Amino acid sequence: MTPRVKCLLVDDLEENLIALGALLRREDVEVLQARSGAQALELLLEHEDVALAFLDVQMPEMDGFELAELMRGSERTRHIPIIFVTAGAHDQRRRFKGYDAGAVDFLYKPLEPHVLRNKAEVFFQLYRQKQQLAQQLEELTETLRLNEMFTAVLGHDLRNPLSAILTAADLLYRRTEDPAVRKSAIRMLTSGKRMGRMIEDVLDLARARLAGGIPLRRSETDFSQLVHRMVQEHQTAFPQHSIEVRQDGDLVGDWDADRLAQVASNLIGNALQHGDASEPVQLRLDGSKTDAVSFSVSNVGVIPTELQPYLFDPFRRGSQQRGRTGGLGLGLYIVQQIIHAHHGSVDVDSGASRHTTFRVVLPRRGTEVVKL
């Protein structure tokens, strides 16, 4: 069954209301009638979601233009389409005044029934489509929320069996001298750790979406120490690559050390994976400013222009074409969320030279979590 829509008719003459109501009233249209602007406002307070309003221009006490201005001044009624009905001449100045008051059209008496019905039907259909879209959006939003909640629960529950597998693989590696078994155990450990990182990425995505931002545990943190620790870890994993670090000034601030280590790890790993292995990855840490610390990671290689708008999107398009392996396309998104939670900024410069550079700016102090 087609949902009913509400149509407001305002005219100070009873016979005009009867005639208009007879033309518009049907099973799927509820007609609301008012003989003054004040009565119309009372009806609008009583009834929500009015699809269309026909207002007579010439009424005592409050004319149609004044009523329209009051309707436009209220958040509840400002989006109701208004059609003015008038017995006056086709005065251009009056038309301009009506459109300024928020009218979508003018009808002149005597009214032609088929014109009135056709114009009204257009707005009724638009209203129904708007309601359907709003309902679909609500359903999609709820589906997305449930999917993200399911992902969070699943990611959390996967950590326990994965931990057992990693423990068993480590024990197997330590308890055997068989080269084939040790090789298999190492592969299990490597794959399990990579899976663990992906699970943590999924959990961070869920935290950012469901909890309104990634929570921080701030403490006095030496950014230089954690960056050098990440460099050592990546140098072991990528022995064929060179990493150069240059630092200046004071690099201590009030940050979440674990989260910033995650930022440094993701950016360094990203540069090593996608950069030219024959050229060094360059890290720059600048603590010369009193209120903020900057950190940049630069590698030789240019990101295709068509991919750059999506770099910080979760599951961003084109990541696989760029050669990404062992990840979900969440690394840069999580970097952005962590930096924003610290009230900082992160951006990328690629294409101006033969290098791609990610730059992070971190305020030294802060206590609040940004709601993203």
- Residues in CB range of 92: below 8 A, 6 or more apart: none
What φ, ψ does residue 32 adopt, rounded to 5°?
A: -105, 130
Q: Which domain holds residue 273?
A: 219-363
Q: What's the CA gap between 147 and 33, in Å, rounded? A: 46
Q: Give 8's strand partners.
A: 32, 53
Q: Please state, in angstroms and rounded to a whole number, the distance separating the CA atoms of residues 209 and 145.
A: 8
**Residue 185 sits in the same domain as residue 238:** no
- Most confident option among 54-68, 180-194, 205-219, 239-253: 239-253
**Residue 371 falls inside a structural domain:** no
The number of folded domains in the chain is 3
Q: Are residue 95 and residue 165 in the same domain, yes or no? A: no
231 shares a domain with 345: yes
Identify whether 106 is part of a domain. yes
> Is the same domain home to 90 and 171?
no
Give CA–CA dist 342/344, Å, rounded.
Answer: 5
Relative to beta strand 5-10, strand 29-34 is parallel
Confidence band, pLDDT 50/70/90 cuts, at residue 94: low
Residue bearing the bigger pLDDT, 272 or 194: 272
- Closest to 64 (Cα-Cα) out of 127, 113, 6, 8: 8
Q: Do the Cβ atoms of 35 and 9 come closer than 8 Å?
A: no
Question: CATH number for the domain including 35?
Answer: 3.40.50.2300
pLDDT of the residue at 246: 95
Residues 236 and 289 in one domain: yes
Residue 143 counted as domain residue: no
Q: Considering the domain boundaries, does residue 137 fall inside one?
A: no
Q: What number is the average pLDDT over the span 126-145?
A: 85
Global model pTM greater than 0.85: no
The residue-averaged pLDDT of 300-312 equals 89
Percent of the chain at pLDDT above 70?
A: 87
Among residues 159, 193, 210, which one ends one of the domains? 210
Judgement on whether residues 344 and 257 belong to the same structural domain of the protein: yes
Which two tokens mark 65? 């233009």
Same domain? 226 vs 316:
yes
Same domain, 226 and 359: yes
Residue 242, SS3 per DSSP: coil
Q: Of 92, 111, 130, which residue is a domain's last?
A: 111
